[in-house]
Amino acid sequence: MTTYVLAFYEIDRAYGGHEEGGWWYDTGQLVRISRIFRTEERALTAAARANRLLQHLERHKRPVGSIIYHGGRHAVEVYEDFAPKFYPDTRPRYD
């Protein structure tokens, strides 16, 4: 039976490489697993609600893309069966 995990991540950006003048990608570190759902629809609804609340609560914090950002923003992600400790699982490549 498939389950869907609602996981909270602290988000950041990592330097991807020097191609095309430099590029960055979004990363996340698992903070906690909140709930487990039986249906994907319910998990996605709960994640959307949690992300709206986080945006409201963190509205005065610096954006992740800011050069002086030093943590403190969070996002909720939904995964099937288990949540990884970090995302993305592998470093993206520039194509």
The model's pLDDT over 44-82, given as tens digits with 9 standing for 90+, comes to 999 999 999 999 999 999 999 888 888 889 999 999 999
3-state SS, one letter per residue, for 22-80 = CEEEEEEEEEEEEEEECCHHHHHHHHHHHHHHHHHHCCCCCCCCCCCCCCCCEEEEEEE
The model's pLDDT over 15-53, given as tens digits with 9 standing for 90+, comes to 999 888 889 999 999 999 999 999 999 999 999 999 999
